[in-house]
Amino acid sequence: MPTCHYPTLIMLRALLLSLTLITGLAQANTTRQLPISLDTDQGTLYGSLLVPQSDKPVPVALLIAGSGPTDRDGNNPEGGHNDALKKLAQVLAHNGIASLRYDKRGVAASRAATPDEKELSVERYVADAEGWARLLRDDPRFDRLILIGHSEGALIASLAAPASQADALVSIAGPAYPIGQVLDMQLATRLPPPLLAESRHILANLIRGTLQPQVPEELQAIYRPSVQPYLISLLRQNPAANFAALQIPALIVQGTHDAQVSPDNANVLKQARPDAELAMIAGMNHVMRITPAPWNEQLASYDDPQLPLARALGERILSFIRSSAEENGR
């Protein structure tokens, strides 16, 4: 007759629990977050460096945030507090990969570097990413450099990759179409005909590089004069062409429930660079969470830092970083 030794089971469970706690504490103590700064010719930028403990050099990822006033953690006062990039950095660190995430100029701790948005440009953002990359490449704690850009940050990553001497690149929810085309398509379904005509007139002039001082009140949020210099620099870009020009291993990550950057963008990027890896994450939205498809059912995820990232996101990025290292023989 089988016997059940309850005291033994209880002791075993206690032992397993204590081991789990010890392991968790050890893991927590093997990762350090350090403040870091970058001096530029237009002020100082600030970021966070997350470094796993290691007795040999480890890969390091430069995380580049998306558009608007998005900070180093992926939070945006206009788009919610979700800690998307902070959580991604933690996933990387727990798997032996360091990361640097930073506040863009004009944002959060780096606001003083460029307090006036009319001084911003895509080229300036690219130069900043290149500066951070040089800092990482000169650091003996790191060997390989991976650029990871989210949304508009993926465009910045593609443009910065050559001068950064990056070893690989990850595009998360990266755009493929020229921004002028995207903007016009979005506004065509939202604006009444007279206002749409005015929008197209302004957009056409900005594409030609001509500032438009007179903007209707209804279009100020998009075309206010102070943001026009940045828009002009952005309208010059062709994300798919920039991605196609990359000469390093690349991974395209796209959520099927992304309501901001539609999944067809990923397919266009893949067509532009057929040898790039493509990871379509079922159910993932723009802030890297698993959500229902309807936009109104996704909104809560934009302001919920406790919601975990899509598990497949971390798995595919980690797998790519490891496989690209083998491809490069490092």
- Whichever domain contains 43, its CATH number is 3.40.50.1820
CA 51/CA 159 separation, integer angstroms: 26
Question: pTM of the full predicted structure?
Answer: 0.89
Is residue 288 one of the residues assigned to a domain?
Answer: yes
36-41 mean pLDDT: 97
Is 217 or 6 the better-scoring residue by pLDDT? 217
- Angle at alpha carbon of residue 145, lines to 144 and 149, rounded to 5°: 150
Same domain, 145 and 245: yes
Choose the final residue of a domain: 190, 220, 236.
Answer: 236
Based on the domain organization, do 197 and 305 belong to the same domain?
no
Classify residue 23 by burial, with Cβ atoms within 10 Å: 0-12, 13-18, 19+: exposed
Q: Are residues 43 and 147 in the same domain?
A: yes
From residue 147, alpha-carbon distances to 63, 153, 229 in Å are: 6, 10, 26
- Say yes or no to pLDDT of 4 above 60: no
Share of the chain above pLDDT 90, in %: 86
Kindly give, in sequence order, each residue whose CB lies less than 8 Å from that of residue 11, ignoring residues fewer than 6 positions away.
none
Least confident of 19-23, 144-148, 258-262: 19-23
Cβ-proximal residues to 191 (8 Å cutoff; 6+ apart), any chain: 199
Strands 58-64 and 142-150: parallel
> Which strands make up the sheet holding 98-102, listed edge to edge?
31-40, 43-52, 98-102, 58-64, 142-150, 168-172, 250-255, 277-281
Question: Mean pLDDT across the stretch 155-164?
Answer: 98
Alpha carbon 14 to its chain centroid, in Å, reads 41
Mean pLDDT, all residues of the chain: 91
Is there a single domain that holds both residue 46 and residue 152? yes
Kindly indicate the confidence band of residue 13, based on its pLDDT and cuts at 50, 70 and 90.
very low
List the single range of 14-18, 26-30, 229-233, 304-308 with lowest mean pLDDT. 14-18
Pairing verdict, β 277-281 and 58-64: unpaired
pLDDT tens digits for range 84-115? 999 999 999 999 999 999 999 999 999 999 99
Name the phi and psi angles at 275, rounded to 5. -85, 0
| Number of domains forming the structure of the chain | 2
Tokens of 155: 């465009």
| Residue 8 belongs to some domain of the structure | no
Which tokens belong to 243?
């991605």
Do 121 and 196 have their domain in common? no
The domain boundary, picked from 236, 251, 280, lies at 236
Cβ neighbourhood burial of 55 (10 Å; 0-12, 13-18, 19+): exposed
What's the rounded Cα separation, in Å, for the pair 206 and 99? 36
Query: Domain range spanning residue 224?
Result: 179-236
Regarding whether 191 and 268 lie in a shared domain, the answer is no
pLDDT band at 2 (very low <50, low <70, confident <90, very high): very low
The token pair at 251 is 């991974």
Q: pLDDT digit string (tens) for 270-294? A: 999 999 999 999 999 999 999 999 9
